[in-house]
Copies of this chain bind each other. A is one copy, B any other.
Amino acid sequence: MSDAVSPLATPFPELPAIAGVTPRVARAGYKDWGRCDLTYVELSQGTAVAGVFTRNVCCSSEVELGRANVARGRARALVVNAGNSNAFTGYRGREAVEQIMTQVAANLGCAQEEVFVSSTGVIGVPLPKDKARAGIEAALAADECTWEEAARTIGTTDTFPKGASAKAQLGAVQVHFSAIIKGSGMIAPDMATMLGYVFTDAAVSPEFLQECLSAANRRTFSCITVDSDTSTSDTVLAFATGKAGNEPLTSFDSPGADAFAAALEDICRQLSHLVVKDGEGAQKFIAVAVSGAVSDESARKVGLAIANSPLVKTAIAGEDANWGRVVMAVGKAGQPADRDRLSIGFGGTWAARDGQPLADYDEAPVAAHLKGREISIEVDLGLGDGRATVWTCDLTHGYISINADYRS
């Protein structure tokens, strides 16, 4: 964890314990950090798992193996290594992951494929097997830790620990969700990544859990960006222990399935916002709301073009209502748009409508809005019913300092 805390940081919330989930931390010593860097979460028998992973084709062995194992739908343990991403390390990196899976499976008496491993940190250095083995041993012998300790332990360049909770009423049974996430951007020469873990006591089939997680992902994690650079190790896993005792959910026809899916999406949105709020150099949290697109997916792509534009992000950093840069970003998005139907606003005040600056545009409320920490940009394409919201942060000197004023 970095010393300088993001101005957008929020206190770590109270997270409920989840029946069947036991987190522990240990120190493997992957980096000279003087703090725990290995997180081990034991999951009760019968825990369902679902996951979404980076689409970066240069992904790590952790991602490759995790993607394969999620297809089996069951999990007994999660191991997260912080300080070494083990990416771009060839067969040696893969052997290190397999060693961890074997070691944990032998201890629990489960299949190797039920052990999920993530790693985050420097790339190009194979994860040291001896440190991993000793770290796992220490974790297996450790006492249960708090969610906040686990959230701190999975962090690298994060400036604050990040967690969220949710609950859903399934008929007579209330189910609970607790989740932790790490991610801030990347620092030279380390490649920090977004790793998120959601734990629930709900009983749910792996297939339906995956369906809900994938849908939530499209509207949450897939709608955030800090710097447009897709990590090699991004992973979000959802684990459901079933200990709440509800009638198992298997599809949207199951009673309570809508409430469950809504709670899962809610917790994913909370987590995704926390990552943006810890974006490298972030001073402002920006929501880009796009409406009037030809489809929701088209709206998302337009939103991402705006949220990834260095010129839009620097304008917000400069508290400048530069709607011309938003026009430029809409135009380059490669999506259907009509210059003469386009409207742009900030904080609920339109600056341009139907392709022209508003004659009676009052910049005072916009200027006041832009001085705040939470900024909204509204774009109406005027073409259809497609809508999406994308979240990002501003681009500041802090980002350059973190990533350039540094020599490995």
Contact = CB atoms under 8 A, between A and B. Distances in A.
Contact of A408 (B58, B230, B320, B403): B320
In this complex, which of A321, A332, A396 has the most chain B Cβ atoms within 10 angstroms of its Cβ? A332
A360 interface: no
A183 B348 CA distance: 34
A193 B90 CA distance: 44
Given A57-B339, A400-B317, A403-B311, A123 B88 contact: no
Contacts of A10: none
Contact of A339 (B58, B342, B401): B58
A327 B88 contact: yes
A271 B320 CA distance: 32
Given A227-B311, A229-B311, A339-B57, A191 B90 contact: no
A403 B56 CA distance: 30
Interface string A171-192: 0000000000000001011010
Nearest to A333: B57
A356 to B, nearest CB: 4
A57 B335 CA distance: 9
Interface string A292-321: 000000000000000011110011011111
Interface of A: 55-59, 87-90, 122-125, 186, 188-189, 191, 227-232, 308-311, 314-315, 317-325, 327-332, 337-340, 342, 352, 355-357, 394-397, 399-401, 403-408
10 contacts: A57-B330, A57-B337, A189-B320, A228-B310, A232-B327, A314-B399, A315-B404, A320-B406, A397-B397, A397-B400
